[in-house]
Structure 1
Amino acid sequence: MLLSVERMGLLQRFKSFLYQQMVKYQVILYLLPMLQPFAKYFAGTGSKGNHRITDKSGKSFPVCKLNGKLFPAFGLGRLQTIPDVSIRRDDVLLGGYPKTGCHWVHEILHMLVNGKSELTKYGKGLGGMIDAIPDIILDSLSSPRVLNSHMLYDDLPKGVKEHRTKIVITVRNPKDTVVSFYNHVRNLEEFYTYTGEFNDYFDLWIEGNVDYGSYFDFYLSWDELLKNPERHPVLLVKYEDIKAQPMENIKRIAQFLEVDVTDEFVAEIVEKTSFNSMKSKRAKDMSAKLFRKGKVGDWRNWLSEEQSEAIDKQWQKKMQGCIYQPHYNE
């Protein structure tokens, strides 16, 4: 019995040593280009979800349901380990409800903290999405890291609170958000397997019966922190504001991150993170389907008057005192 315990201890130390070496020399990052062509074969979600969301026409997609909350079908095993994800003191965390400009702002943040106007190699997914990416990839990323998550504050890694990690939260008007979210779900067919129509998906979304839950509840959950910055450093970044005034808003983000920038450097970031530049860069990547139009006001081509009013009513019911108030000007 004692010998067996000693062997287990040796095995564990060997595994820890092997993990440390793979992380130190970023072995897994060198393997990623070889694995990318096979990514779609690993995207099947049937065995990773424990719940299905079904629209009124009978079309459905898999999700994970954990502690009463809905998440993409990343697997319960991954979702349950998120509180223990290792956080470094110089990490920056990007949050926000899905399809509110997270890919765009991730690139901006990466350029600011690294001082180079270069797009990331893999985008925000493999570049630090703690909701889905294995720890060995996260631990292999060089500092400073820009991690990202769509989790609520209370569900983030414990280290985020312990280190008072700077958090940037993206927000976009809900009408454009639901349109973008629907197209996201439809375009990622290998992952979601959803073939429903927009009107049916809208009914799910307005009730919060989609992965990551209610848009309205999500921003309500962050409202107290945003109103009380002494509790935790959190910056709200509005999609429409960056579109309208990119220079000014990138400087605002830099100030929050305590990063010194020049006008020339910010102008380079604006150019490199333009929608067309990013879409062109990702054309052959797994993330290519995530870039659609990137416009403000496209909801007018999708939402009926009744659907637009339904969002307005939901806002009036829940969000009157919220620090963020949407605007719909094109």
Structure 2
Amino acid sequence: MSASFSHKLPGEHVYDGSLFFGFSPPDTLDAVKDFEVRDDDIFIVTYPKAGTTWMQELVWLVMNDGNIEAAKQKPVYFRSAFLEFKDEILNEIGIELANPMPSPRVLKSHLQVKWMPRQIHQKNCKIVVMFRNPKDLCVSYYHFYKSSSSLGNFTGDWPEFLRMFLCGHVDHGSWFDFTRRGGNMRNNYNVKIVFFEFFLRSLSKPPPKYIGFAFLNKSLSLDVVDRITRHCSFESMRRNPMTNHDDVYSINADISPLLRKGTVGDWKNYFTVNQNEDFDRIYQERLGDIDIPFVYQL
């Protein structure tokens, strides 16, 4: 983070060498480490804009036997707590929401594993790590930065944001650091690595195989799986007020909705040839030794 950038996050601070916005304050990040984990907890762990809301809704429905009526009664961010988030205006304080939730809890985090609850290494919880190709992710994050007052309504241009992203000067820190630590967990017995692109493709092909019910210790009828699949289509999620965050004061959907496109390959509309070559070079320098099968077009 040695480079200098003009954009400032509301309440920004540096925690253990990484940048965070004010909605993940230091005391909350400290408290997450001491969070009491249950054996049947399921953690959805992603870098921002990797398809987090999508995976939260899917896993919550799988663990609740496809109870779509219940899902329609409460926003996903109140059914699946964002552990390190603290928004007193929205009354969304992740740890306080998570503690009284009935089991099995589906919990969300954008944290690198080193900042996650210490007990994840001691309990039999499940961890779903969702990856998305970093070029599409970066474009999506750029639009979210522009639309979100929580992130300071970024007014810079795409080249500036790309530089910020490559330097790790964005909320929750470096994508490269997150991905290395997440990728290194892939052989852990309680970790399932999934990819946004595979998820997108699987939802359109019956029978869907987007997560692996055996990993979640769930057995659902084909009828329930079909209803979950239709409910979790991107268009359905985008229209659904319980998942599209239209009620969240900090997101200006006129600039960019939370669920924007849900496609693969949009990065080609933003990256110049030189930017793409620079990105690939930095990727090889930072992560070239880890075999992660990212998909950049379908």
Q: Distance in 2 between matches of 1:243 and 1:266?
A: 15
Q: Distance in 2 between matches of 1:83 and 1:297?
A: 36
CA 1:54 to 1:188, structure 2 compared with 1: closer, same or farther past 3 Å? farther
Which residue number corresponds to residue 243 of structure 1?
200
Q: Does 1:293 align with 2:261?
A: yes
Q: Secondary structure at the match of 2:9?
A: strand
Q: Secondary structure at the match of 1:255?
A: coil
> Aligned-pair distance for 1:146?
0.3
Which residue, 306, 309, 318 being the options, matches 2:286?
318
Deviations 1:160-211 (A, max 9, x none): 2221311000111111000001111111125424221111011010121212
- Say how many residue pairs are matched: 275
Which residue number corresponds to residue 38 of structure 2?
88
Which residue number corresponds to residue 97 of structure 1?
47
Which residue, 56, 66, 73 being the options, matches 2:15?
66
Q: Which amino acid aligns with 1:173?
A: N
> Aligned-pair distance for 1:89?
2.1
CA 1:319 to 1:190, structure 2 compared with 1: closer, same or farther past 3 Å? closer
- Normalising by the residue count of structure 2, what TM-score does the alignment of the two structures yield? 0.84
> Aligned-pair distance for 1:251?
5.4
Deviations 1:221-251 (A, max 9, x none): 122221x324xx1111101111112256645
Identity rate of aligned residues, in percent? 28
Coordinate RMSD, CA, aligned: 2.3
> Aligned-pair distance for 1:309?
1.4
Q: Does 1:179 align with 2:128?
A: no
* Mapping of residues 154-193 of structure 1, within 5 Å: 154-193=114-153
Which residue number corresponds to residue 131 of structure 1?
84
Whether the 8 Å CA contact 1:174–1:311 is kept in 2: the answer is: no
Whether the 8 Å CA contact 1:152–1:218 is kept in 2: the answer is: yes
Higher helix share: 1
Which residue number corresponds to residue 122 of structure 1?
75
Q: Runs of 4+ in structure 1 displaced over 6 angstroms?
A: none
CA 1:195 to 1:323, structure 2 compared with 1: closer, same or farther past 3 Å? same
Unaligned runs of 5+ in 2: 86-92
Q: Which has the higher contact order (CA 8 A, sep 6+)?
A: 2
Deviations 1:104-160 (A, max 9, x none): 011110011110242362123663100112432222322211001011112111222
Q: Does 1:264 align with 2:232?
A: no
Q: Distance in 1 between matches of 2:210 and 2:144?
A: 29
Greater shift, 88-97 or 241-250, is seen at 241-250
CA 1:294 to 1:217, structure 2 compared with 1: closer, same or farther past 3 Å? same
Q: Secondary structure at the match of 1:237?
A: strand
Q: Which amino acid aligns with 1:148?
A: K
Whether the 8 Å CA contact 1:128–1:147 is kept in 2: the answer is: yes
Q: Distance in 1 between matches of 2:152 and 2:214?
A: 38
Q: Distance in 2 between matches of 1:113 and 1:172?
A: 23
Q: Does 1:234 align with 2:187?
A: no
Q: Distance in 2 between matches of 1:158 and 1:176?
A: 31
Unaligned runs of 5+ in 1: 1-50
